[in-house]
Amino acid sequence: MMTPSIPAGFMELLPEDQIRMNTMKNIITRTFEKYGFLPLDTPVIEKSEVLLAKGGGETEKQIYRFTKGSNDLSLRFDLTVPLARFVAQHQNELSFPFRRYQIGKVYRGERAQKGRFREFYQCDIDIIGSETLSILNHAEIPAAISEIFCAMGLNEFVFHVNNRKILNGLFTSLGVEEPALVLRAVDKLDKIGREGVEKELAELGMSAEKQGELFDFLSIDGSNDEVLSALDAFPCEDEMYKLGIEELATVLGGMAAFGVAEKNMKIDLSIARGLDYYTGTVFETFLTGYESMGSICSGGSYDDLASHYSKKKLPGVGISIGLTRLYTQLEEAGLFRFPVENHLEVLVLPFPVTMEAGIKLVQTLRNEGIIAQIYLESGKMGKKFTYADKLHAPYVVVVGESELQEGKYMFRDMATGDQTAMTLDELTTKLKAD
Amino acid sequence: MMTPSIPAGFMELLPEDQIRMNTMKNIITRTFEKYGFLPLDTPVIEKSEVLLAKGGGETEKQIYRFTKGSNDLSLRFDLTVPLARFVAQHQNELSFPFRRYQIGKVYRGERAQKGRFREFYQCDIDIIGSETLSILNHAEIPAAISEIFCAMGLNEFVFHVNNRKILNGLFTSLGVEEPALVLRAVDKLDKIGREGVEKELAELGMSAEKQGELFDFLSIDGSNDEVLSALDAFPCEDEMYKLGIEELATVLGGMAAFGVAEKNMKIDLSIARGLDYYTGTVFETFLTGYESMGSICSGGSYDDLASHYSKKKLPGVGISIGLTRLYTQLEEAGLFRFPVENHLEVLVLPFPVTMEAGIKLVQTLRNEGIIAQIYLESGKMGKKFTYADKLHAPYVVVVGESELQEGKYMFRDMATGDQTAMTLDELTTKLKAD
């Protein structure tokens, strides 16, 4: 006999947990749809040559790649490359700005470790323009996410917002030739201190004066208005730098117009996110008091989505919730603060002689939109109530012969243990009110 | 530049079609949940040794199998084997009868041909008992499916119902040693005629007398009651045969109790479905007038779900809708008879000077639960209306400066072209009523 198990690094939930996970997925789906994002459901399997057109690097090693017949195939490792492929492929059939959401599983053969999954859900929204895209779209994206987190009862979160043009412009004006190396040195500030970073920057050929300028820039802090003022006042004349500040100000103003609360957004000049990929706005999202979780939702804007597949310039902005990871993080932190949806509402318990009446009752309740189940097995009432307990049925209806003759059913509140004889109308009204 | 494309045999829909597909998926999900089926979301990737514990045969050749590191992995080819694995693995954490639904993609590397997909959705429900399961559960399964098809506007369908014990019992009483070969011969009746079949049966060693009995059995026809009477009267004393008739009668009676209309169910002694797998009740479902589609929803009961993974006997019953195939079949037949859900309801068109008012308006509408979008790009009004047309937005709200000063918005019905100046309240009421 084969011992049943699943591969390491894959999530599989028991039904009660899956209901909670599905509630999160439903909240996300509903909100994305309310914001007019269109659904997309691309294949899990893509042609390897298409998926890897960009060239992989780190990601490429993690890809599930295989051949079937003469086809070289790969499982998608995110939803962005398939989006780029889709938009390029169907650009003449789409209306721009094209707004799509996709919620689906992606695959990365990472080293198995706690909180890391090899199969996980990404929940993505993107807005793609044809040649141009208003920067106000950058502001709408976090508004949708804000609504999702609030619906999950997670009101204490902060969008960290930055614009990569600012740092790029600054680097240009400082004459930095290898921004990636400078950023890597700067990122060690907490670890090796200012002196350690200065040493590394010197090795990269940055003069003490320019190092001073860089550290002045990095020390800019305060409220969003204060940071914007300080950025304006900062002595950098680079055009890219100035454009970055203007865009950042527009995005923050737009977020406010879209209803994101002031307390939920913060300029954070330290976030850069995916050096190659994002070119303008970047977002990270942190739960207040749980910053150690890392960003629970990240995204940004890009100048051209599909340069590997299309000559048309397709600027866009997008954001992604890593749902599988978020689920485990919320579970560990005890942060499931939303009521679950689509849970069993009532279990009907018939006796053998009232089986047909029980079946008719459960169908009547279902026709009223109530989530209802009937226990069709034989056995003692005690066993049936144990089943109701295990299912966490909030209510049970016992279909007794004598009550039935009076047109009534025994209605039991499983939390209080209260029992009341009720007519069908009373029963339905009570269940629908709950 | 890489030409963007997906592998052959994979479905990918444009957003308008995807909305229709999602509506079907929503109808199925809602109904499964209303019937108290619990959600399950097993990994797409399983260990090959677990997935193939049963031994594959035809299916095995079609499996997407690959290694990653030292792991021998396969993509699931149905949702039943993963269910068996899951129930065996978690049997001590589940409550029986265990009712689960799963809607997910499965993978079969079939020869690419029209209407056949290598990645397709299965929508499964199963009820699993521990050691025993009331046969009334067999009747509840088609009731759920019936509700789904009716919600899709497909009221003219027929469940073909049979019980494998009947034929098995008959074969025992006829001394048939190789039922599969006899069935294969009988299946050629339409093609090679009774004489041809008789010749093959003779070759299999069946006497003329027994052939006569078999043909008498196969000629049983009529209304459900007539067939049941004829089966009762048929001279076969095998216990399995009699049990099969009793079960068949119970299932049909149960289906009626669960509200399946008499016109929607028909005993069909010719259906056998998966010789090895199903052991009792079997279902196929045909759309009246579109029988050439084949069965659009099939299932049945089995004595033991997980004999390869568990010593516990787990009898069950289940059914599956092949959603991807059904979608294409309904499309080709012009049978999309349901209103789509979650389509854009209104597009807000601001001018540059009314941008902020437009943003506030679209957020107000979204807060009312209306699916709303704002066009944030610059450009002439004509271009914006073209966009609204392409999105099939039923209504457009133009946020004009002069109307705004009177607290009004220009509301346009895109179908009729009628324009009315409306207050926010009027607008919201109108959109929510629609």
Mean pLDDT of B56-76: 89
State residue B275's pLDDT score: 56
Exposure on the CB side of residue B155, measured as CA atoms within 13 A: 3
Q: Which pair of structure tokens corresponds to residue A238?
A: 């680079």
Residues of A in contact with B314 (CB under 8 A): none
Q: Which uninterrupted H or E stretch holds B286?
A: strand B281-287
Closest CA to A272 of A201, A142, A178, A184: A184
Q: Which uninterrupted H or E stretch holds B40?
A: none
Inter-chain touch A366–B309, beta carbons under 8 Å:
no
Q: For residues A210, A212, A217 and A218, what is the CA-based torsion angle, rounded to 10 degrees? A: 120
Instruction: Please state the φ and ψ torsions of residue B128, each to the nearest 5 degrees.
Output: -115, 125
Q: How far apart are CA B259 and CA A258, in angstroms?
A: 49
Q: How far apart are CA A95 and CA A225, in angstroms?
A: 37
For residues B317 and B163, the answer to whether their CB atoms sit within 8 Å is no
- Residues in contact with A159: Cβ distance below 8 Å, sequence separation at least 6, in sequence order: A142, A145, A146, A255, A260, A264, A265, A266, A283, A284, A285
Nearest CA in chain B to A371: B34
Residues of A in contact with B21 (CB under 8 A): 41
For residues B161 and B139, the answer to whether their CB atoms sit within 8 Å is no
SS3 B350: strand
Distance of CA A376 to the CA centre of its chain: 40
State residue A274's pLDDT score: 59
Q: How far apart are CA A134 and CA A250, in angstroms?
A: 10
Closest CA to A16 of A399, A392, A348: A392
Compute CA distances B110 → A50, B10, B122, B379, whole Å: 22, 11, 16, 49
Q: How far apart are CA A182 and CA A280, in angstroms?
A: 19
For residues B38 and A19, the answer to whether their CB atoms sit within 8 Å is yes
Compute CA distances B199 → A406, B88, B180, whole Å: 64, 46, 16
**Parallel/antiparallel/unpaired status of strands B409-413 and B419-422:** antiparallel
Residues of A in contact with B15 (CB under 8 A): 38-40, 94, 100
pLDDT for B183 beyond 90? no
Q: How far apart are CA A61 and CA A74, in angstroms?
A: 12
Written in H, E and C, the secondary structure of chain A is CCCCCCCCCECCCCHHHHHHHHHHHHHHHHHHHHCCCEECCCCCEEEHHHHCCCCCCHHHHHCCEEEECCEEEEECCCCHHHHHHHHHHCCCCCCCCEEEEEEEEEECCCCCCCCCCCEEEEEEEEEECCCCCCCHHHHHHHHHHHHHHHHCCCCCEEEEEEEHHHHHHHHHHHCCCCHHHHHHHHCCHHHHHHHHHHHHHHHCCCCHHHHHHHHHHHCCCCCHHHHHHHHHHCCCCCHHHHHHHHHHHHHHHHHHHCCCCHHHEEECCCCCCCCCCCCCEEEEEEECCCHHHCCCEEEEEECCCCCCCCCCCCCEEEEEEEHHHHHHHHHHHCCCCCCCCCCCCEEEEECHHHHHHHHHHHHHHHHCCCCEEECCCCCCHHHHHHHHHHCCCCEEEEECHHHHHCCEEEEEECCCCCEEEEEHHHHHHHHHHC
Beta bridge partner(s), residue B349? B398
Q: How far A75 CA sits from the closest chain B CA (Å)?
A: 10
Residues of A in contact with B359 (CB under 8 A): 136, 254, 257-258
Instruction: Please state the φ and ψ torsions of residue B401, each to the nearest 5 degrees.
Output: -65, -45
Q: How far apart are CA A413 and CA B22, in angstroms?
A: 36
pLDDT bracket for residue B56 (50, 70, 90)? low
Q: How far apart are CA B346 and CA B432, in angstroms?
A: 11
Compute CA distances A281 → A132, A166, A317, whole Å: 15, 10, 8
* Distance between first and last Cα of chain B: 46
Burial class (CB in 10 A: 0-12, 13-18, 19+), B342: middle
Mean pLDDT of B347-373: 97
Residue with tokens 């619906």: A151
DSSP character for B316? E
Distance of CA B296 to the CA centre of its chain: 7
How many interface pairs between A and B have CB atoms less than 8 angstroms apart?
Answer: 236
Nearest CA in chain B to A70: B7
Q: How far apart are CA A343 and CA A404, in angstroms?
A: 27
Nearest CA in chain B to A23: B39
Inter-chain touch B88–A137, beta carbons under 8 Å:
no
pLDDT bracket for residue B274 (50, 70, 90)? low
Q: How far apart are CA B395 and CA B380, in angstroms?
A: 18
Inter-chain touch A49–B2, beta carbons under 8 Å:
yes
Q: How far B417 CA sits from the closest chain A CA (Å)?
A: 21
Kindly report the length of chain A: 434
For residues B193 and B182, the answer to whether their CB atoms sit within 8 Å is no
> Considering CB atoms only, which of B12, B38, B143 is closest to A43?
B12
Percent of chain B whose pLDDT exceeds 90:
88
Q: How far apart are CA A279 and CA A315, in angstroms?
A: 10
A380-389, B49-58, B65-74: the lowest-pLDDT one: B49-58
Residues of A in contact with B109 (CB under 8 A): 68-69
Q: How far A306 CA sits from the closest chain B CA (Å)?
A: 10
Nearest CA in chain A to B393: A36
Q: What average pLDDT does the structure give for chain B?
A: 94
- Contacts of B66-69 with C-beta under 8 Å, sequence gap 24+, read B66/A64, B66/A65, B66/A66, B68/A64, B68/A109, B69/A109
Low-confidence ranges of chain A (pLDDT < 70): 56, 273-276
State residue A275's pLDDT score: 56
> Considering CB atoms only, which of A1, A5, A94 is closest to B308?
A1
Mean pLDDT of B80-98: 97
Residues of B in contact with A10 (CB under 8 A): 43, 45
Which amino acid is residue B12, in one-letter code?
Answer: E
Inter-chain touch B38–A19, beta carbons under 8 Å:
yes
Q: Which pair of structure tokens corresponds to residue A330?
A: 């919320």
Residues of B in contact with A377 (CB under 8 A): 97, 129, 132-134
Q: Which pair of structure tokens corresponds to residue A368?
A: 């009223």
For residues A388 and A396, the answer to whether their CB atoms sit within 8 Å is yes
pLDDT for B207 beyond 80? yes
Residues of B in contact with A6 (CB under 8 A): 42-43, 46-47, 50, 85, 89
Q: How far B1 CA sits from the closest chain A CA (Å)?
A: 6
For residues A252 and A265, the answer to whether their CB atoms sit within 8 Å is yes
Would the pTM count as exceeding 0.90? yes
pLDDT digits (tens, 9 = 90+) for B239-250: 999 999 999 999
Which amino acid is residue A106, in one-letter code?
Answer: V
Q: How far apart are CA A252 and CA A256, in angstroms?
A: 6
For residues A189 and A201, the answer to whether their CB atoms sit within 8 Å is no
Between CA B40 and CA B46, with CA B42 as vertex, the angle to 5 degrees is 160
Q: How far A217 CA sits from the closest chain B CA (Å)?
A: 32
Q: How far B299 CA sits from the closest chain A CA (Å)?
A: 20
Best of A2, A33, A75 to disrupt the B interface (most B CBs within 10 Å) is A2
- Cβ of B284: how many Cβ atoms within 10 Å? 22
Mean pLDDT of B175-191: 85
> Considering CB atoms only, which of A7, A140, A390 is closest to B71?
A7
Percent of chain B whose pLDDT exceeds 70:
99
Q: How far B49 CA sits from the closest chain A CA (Å)?
A: 8
Please say whether the dihedral angle defined by the alpha carbons of residues A233, A283, A138 and A131, taken in this order, is positive or negative: positive
Helical H runs in B300-423? 323-333, 355-367, 381-390, 401-405
Q: How far apart are CA A142 and CA A284, in angstroms?
A: 10
Beta bridge partner(s), residue A99? A127
Inter-chain touch B68–A137, beta carbons under 8 Å:
no
> Considering CB atoms only, which of B12, B41, B64 is closest to A42?
B12
Best of A68, A92, A312, A317 to disrupt the B interface (most B CBs within 10 Å) is A68
Q: How far apart are CA B8 and CA B422, in angstroms?
A: 51
Nearest CA in chain A to B11: A43
Closest CA to A106 of A140, A133, A77, A73: A77
Best of A26, A27, A45 to disrupt the B interface (most B CBs within 10 Å) is A45
State residue B361's pLDDT score: 98
Instruction: Please state the φ and ψ torsions of residue A173, each to the nearest 5 degrees.
Output: -70, -25
Inter-chain touch A390–B3, beta carbons under 8 Å:
no
Q: How far apart are CA A81 and CA A75, in angstroms?
A: 11
Q: How far B57 CA sits from the closest chain A CA (Å)?
A: 18
Q: How far B176 CA sits from the closest chain A CA (Å)?
A: 31
Nearest CA in chain A to B46: A6
Q: Which pair of structure tokens corresponds to residue B308?
A: 């390869």
Q: How far apart are CA A125 and CA A141, in angstroms?
A: 8
Residues of A in contact with B372 (CB under 8 A): 34-36
pLDDT digits (tens, 9 = 90+) for A274-316: 556 899 999 999 999 999 999 999 999 999 999 999 999 999 9
Q: How far B179 CA sits from the closest chain A CA (Å)?
A: 28
Residues of B in contact with A374 (CB under 8 A): 140
Q: Which pair of structure tokens corresponds to residue B29?
A: 């999900």
Inter-chain touch B15–A33, beta carbons under 8 Å:
no
Residue with tokens 């590394």: A200
Inter-chain touch A4–B310, beta carbons under 8 Å:
yes
**Parallel/antiparallel/unpaired status of strands A157-163 and A265-267:** parallel
Inter-chain touch A71–B13, beta carbons under 8 Å:
no
Q: How far apart are CA A325 and CA A120, in angstroms?
A: 7
Residues of A in contact with B43 (CB under 8 A): 6-7, 10-12, 119
Residues of B in contact with A97 (CB under 8 A): 375-377
pLDDT digits (tens, 9 = 90+) for B33-44: 999 999 999 999
Inter-chain touch A119–B95, beta carbons under 8 Å:
no
